[in-house]
Structure 1
Amino acid sequence: MGVKKNKKQKREDYRAAMKQDDVLTMPRKKFYRQRAHANPFSDHQLVYPPHPDQMDWSTLYPAYVAPEESQPEANPSATTTEEEETPVKVKKLTQDVEVADIGCGFGGLLIALAPVMPQTLVLGLEIRVSVTQFVEDRIKVLRRQNEESRAYQNVSVLRANTMKFLPNFFRQGQLSKIFICFPDPHFKARKHKQRIVSTTLNSEYAYAVRPGGIVYTITDVPDLHGWMVQHFEAHPMFERVGVEEQEGDPCVEIMRNATEEGKKVERNKGEKFVALFRRLEDPVF
């Protein structure tokens, strides 16, 4: 008689099975459960490049790796962590990542954007381990299911703490769009410093987003919506996009309906608050 497995063992066995190259069934969320939110100020033992030029994107977007003859030599100063000093050869891509979904959750927006932006590299950033693994497995299966059409090669996910390390991954003006969908509202006043939109973080978004680029926000919490609008409108490098232009942007409809949180709000007949902010041109001195 076999030993009965507990829930943790079942999850581990399921995830190990999902790593096989012949898996064509979509991952099931119940095997990737963890807490709804993570403390962004905690030490999560994350791996990150000290500079965007030292980030190796090849494992995330293998279909976009540049030919070998155009690859750079190993950079003796390149490291993957602050402690590690082994030289790293960074494989370059044929194009840069241009769209970031901050706090991508279970990847609904990423999957919906993939066919809408087939020539654009889209990256989901998620701090929770199990959720990141779910999105990674989901994308792998979709790629296998669409090998002939090569669909979903343009989307990927990365475990990262955006509040700490956004400039480590993206160069100045690299992004054309940032999505911030249903972020943790952190209702208590003492927790407001953990909100993903703030005076300091908005300056980092202004650094990463090119002039004319858009930051998309959506929430079902009126107070948080007001907070995000207030902080972006107060920032000198952003202006709010008008309602007519906002509603004419196809990404807005996708953002409203493709994410898991958006669907949950819809089921509960809640209201969704949307605001877009355009990155202004750099001032001339």
Structure 2
Amino acid sequence: MDNVAGEKRPAETAVEETSTEVRLPQKKYFRQRAHANVFSDHHLDYPVSPAHMDWSKNFPQHFAPKDGDAAVEGAVTKDSGKKVEFADIGCGYGGLLVALSTVFPDTLMLGMEIRVKVEEYVNQKILALRQNHPGSYDNVSILRMNAMKFLPNFFEKHQLSKMFFLFPDPHFKKRKHKARIITSTLLSEYAYVLRPGGIIYTISDVKDLHLWMVKHLDAHPLFVRIPDEELVDDPAVEHVRTATEEGQKVERNKGDKYLACYRRITDED
């Protein structure tokens, strides 16, 4: 039976295929509260180690299915040899992933998002973009995951070259600060998966959170801040400022954005 005009459609029908294209999903069918308890059990699936991860489900053009696993439609029969290099932690609605996909077409990028509906939206958007633009957007994907708990289960030591923490939850209350995505303990995990020379990008419209992140990154022995003048030629920086839904909202409201980027130094430095 056809939908009545004006009637809301369920999320699973938010992407419709026509004779010429696949429509992109609409955010209004995938809205979810911004906050999630990162310390609770979200019944997540994760590999026991990076070697056990079957990436063919996310990047079928670059990875063959693991032995014994069902073949993924469109998956290649031999791995390309590539590995995920960019990780957008708490990627939200995937604006950065989509923007960077064509800027770095040869780099595999993964968004990690804990909210169910938001992850579903980004996944459907990427699948639609792949169908509408054959040969493009095969280098981006998303996983529903709690990066504060399971990051080393997915990435090997020094695997990543860029990590993004864009407009993260401020957790304003002092008793909630332990849930902030940048802490001394978590930075040591990020240093483990980030290769020497790799970059952490942080941005926030909340000055207190920006100062918190800068304080902890400045204090960590394996990170050094990149001077602003060196960021001018970084093609990722402009998208860090403008590609996300939060960044665009701040822009519309004429708010401030506080950017700080840090380079991972070698263990011997």
Q: Does 1:278 align with 2:263?
A: yes
Aligned pairs for 1:96-175 (under 5 A) are 96-147=83-134, 150-175=135-160
Aligned equivalent of 2:220: 235
1:46 to 37, 44, 62: 44
Partner of 1:255, secondary structure, is helix
1:197 aligns with 2:182: yes
- Could you tell me whether the CA contact under 8 Å between 2:222 and 2:264 is conserved in 1? yes
What are structure 2's unaligned runs of at least 5 residues?
A: 70-77
Residues 158 and 145 of structure 1, relative CA distance in 2, 3 Å threshold: same
Deviation of residue 18 (structure 1)?
Answer: 5.1
Of residues 37, 54, 64 in structure 2, which corresponds to 1:56?
A: 54
- Using the alignment, how far apart are the partners of 1:261 and 1:45 within structure 2? 27
Residue 29 in structure 1 maps to residue 27 in structure 2? yes
1:117-149 CA deviation, whole Å, 9 max, x = no partner?
A: 0000010000000000000000011000011xx
Partner of residue 14, structure 1: 13
User: Aligned with 2:10: secondary structure?
Assistant: helix
Q: Say if 1:25 and 1:230 are closer, same or farther in 2 by CA, change over 3 A.
A: same
1:39–1:23 Cα change, 3 Å: farther
Identity, in percent, stands at 54
Range with greater deviation from structure 2 (264-273 or 29-38): 29-38
Distance 1:238 1:34, change over 3 A: same
Alignment map for 1:88-99 (pairs within 5 Å): 92-99=79-86
| Inter-partner Cα distance in structure 1 for 2:66 and 2:57 | 17
TM-score, normalisation: structure 1:
0.85
Structure 1 residues without counterparts, runs of 5 or longer? 76-90
Aligned-partner SS, 1:167 = helix
User: What is the CA distance between 1:283 and its match in structure 2?
Assistant: 2.0
SS at 1:94 equivalent = coil
DSSP-derived class of the 1:214 partner: strand
Residue-by-residue CA offset, 1:147-178 (whole Å, 9 max, x unaligned): 1xx01000001100000000000000000000
2:155–2:193 CA contact under 8 A, matched in 1? yes
Give 4+ residue runs of structure 1 displaced > 3 Å after superposition.
Answer: 1-4, 17-23, 71-75
Query: Is the contact made by 2:54 and 2:66 (CA closer than 8 Å) also made in structure 1?
Result: no
CA distance in 1, matches of 2:183, 2:218: 11
Q: Does 1:263 align with 2:262?
A: no
Query: What is the DSSP-based 3-state SS (H/G/I as helix, E as strand, rest coil) of the residue aligned with 2:57?
Result: coil
Q: Does 1:213 align with 2:213?
A: no
CA spacing shift, 1:73–1:279, aligned 2, 3 Å: same
**Structure 1 counterpart SS, 2:266:** coil
Change (3 A) 1:25 1:274: same
> 1:92 offset after TM fit, Å?
4.7
Query: Paired residues, what number?
Result: 261
Per the TM alignment, residue 10 of structure 1 is displaced from its structure 2 partner at its CA by 3.1
Distance in 1 (CA, whole Å) between partners of 2:3 and 2:160 is 51
Q: Distance in 1 between matches of 2:164 and 2:3?
A: 46
